[in-house]
Amino acid sequence: MRAGRTSPLLWGATALGAAGMLAAYFVSGAPRFWANWLVWYLFLLSVALGALFLVALEHLVAARWSVPLRRIPERLACLLIPLAGVGLAALGAIPVLYPGARPEAAADPVLGGKAVWLGLPFFSVRVAVCAALGLLALGVLAGGSLRQDQEPGPRFTLRARRFAPAAMAIFALAVSQAAFDWIGGLAPAWYSDVIGVYLFSGTFLAGLAATTLAVLHLQDRHRLPEIRFDHLYSLGGFMFGFVVFWAYIAFAQYLLMWYANLPDEVWWYRARTLGAWLPVALLLAFLNFFLPFFALATRDAKGDGPRLRWVSVVLLAAHWLDMYWLVFPALGATPLFAWPELGFALFFLGASLLWVRGAMARGADMPVGDPFLQEGLRFRL
C-alpha cells in the first residue's frame, strides 16, 4: 500500500470504529462497552509501557547494541500521551464493572475492609498519579533524546542514565497499578501475588514485538539501512527469553492455585478454563508460548526479519487475547466476539496507528546526537 493512501484508510477505519463503539454502548449495554474499552486500554498501555521499559533498560545498563534502535521504542512510548486520557475515561467503568466500588460492597465482610482502596476517589488518584509519572518519564527519556538531535553530546545521555532507576520504579508502579487495580479489581475477593509479574512479562513482550515490527517496517522503507542481523538477533533473543518467562509465570500461578485448591482462589481460574472459555485459554497458551517458542528456537530464526515479523504479529495478537481473557469473564460465562468488538478494534487500532505514524515523523530515525551511536552501529555478536 502506498504511503499516500494509508492515512485516509486509517481515518476511515477510525471513524467507522467510533460509530460502532457508540452503537455498542446503546445496543449491547454499558458493561460490554466498558469491558472492550478496558481491554484496549490495557493492551495499548502494555505496548507503550513495554517500549518505555526497553528505553529505560538501555540507559540503566549502558547498553550499546540498542542505541541505533532506541528511537523506535521512544516513538512507541509516545502512546502514553493519548492513553492518559483513555485511562481517565476508563474510570467510567468503575461503577459498572468493579464490585468493590458499589455501595453494597460496604456490607460485604471481605470488600468492606477494602472500601477506601477500591472506591472511585482513591482509584482515580492512583490512575492520575501513574499517568502523570509515565508522562514525566516519557519527557525525560524520549523528549531528551529528541533534543539531543539538535544538541549533540553526552549531556542528555548522562541525564537519562541518572534518571533510569527512577524510570524503572515508575514502570513498576504503573504495571502494578494496572495489574492490581484494573485487572484484580474486577474480582476483588480474589488475590494473587503474581498478577503484577504476570502483566510485566506480557507488557515487555508487547513492547518488544511492537518495536521489532516498527524496525522491520522502517527497514522495508530503507530508513534503517545500518541495522543488521546482529541487532535483530538481540531483539529476537529478548523475545524468545520472555516468551519462556511469560509461560513460566502463567503456569506457576495456575499450578500453585490448582494444587492448594482453596475456594477463595480456584473460582477465578474455573471461570476462565471451563466451558466456552477453555478454547480461549488453550489458544492463548498456543499463541503466546508454543508457537513463538518453536519459531524462535534456533539461532538463525532469532535474526530472520520475515520470521520476526509474523512472530511479532502473533505475540501482539496473543497479548490482546490475554487482556480479553483477563477482563471479559467478568461479564459472564460466554466469550463475546461480534460487531461491538470489531468496532473497538477498528477505532483503537486506527487511532493508535495514526498517532504512531505521526511520532515516526518526528526527529531522525536514530538518536544521531548520542555519542555511543557509532559504537552501537559497529555492534557484533
Alpha carbon dihedral 211, 213, 219, 221, in 10-degree steps, equals -120
Residue 26 burial (CB < 10 Å; 0-12/13-18/19+)? exposed
Output the pLDDT for position 5.
56
> Distance between CA atoms of 109 and 357, rounded to whole angstroms?
50
Helix (H, G, I), strand (E, B) or coil at 16: helix
Helix (H, G, I), strand (E, B) or coil at 58: helix
> Distance between CA atoms of 142 and 75, rounded to whole angstroms?
7
Residues of the chain falling short of pLDDT 50: 1-4
**Phi, psi torsion values for 4, nearest 5 degrees:** -65, -25
In 10 A of CB 114, how many CB atoms? 15
Handedness of CA 300, 305, 306, 307 (dihedral sign): positive
Q: Write the DSSP assignment of 268-321 as a string of letters.
A: HHHHHHSTTHHHHHHHHHIIIIIHHHHHT-SHHHHT-HHHHHHHHHHHHHHHHH
User: pTM (2 decimals)?
Assistant: 0.95
> Distance between CA atoms of 102 and 100, rounded to whole angstroms?
6
Output the pLDDT for position 4.
47
Exposure string of 235-253, with b = 16+ CB inside 10 Å and e = fewer, is: bbebbbebbebbbebbeeb
> Distance between CA atoms of 308 and 152, rounded to whole angstroms?
33
Tens digits of per-residue pLDDT, 217-227?
999 999 999 99
Q: Which of 359, 364, 348, 353 is nearest to 1 (CA)?
A: 353
Give yes or no for a contact between 365 and 18, defined as CB atoms under 8 angstroms apart: no
Output the pLDDT for position 1.
36
Cell numbers 555511543 correspond to: 372
- Residue 149 CB-half CA count within 13 A: 14
* Cell triple for 322: 490475554
In 10 A of CB 146, how many CB atoms? 17
- Sequence letter at residue 277: W
> Distance between CA atoms of 115 and 250, rounded to whole angstroms?
29
Tens digits of per-residue pLDDT, 11-40?
999 999 999 999 999 999 999 999 999 999
Q: Say how far residue 109 (Cα) sits from the centre of its chain.
A: 35
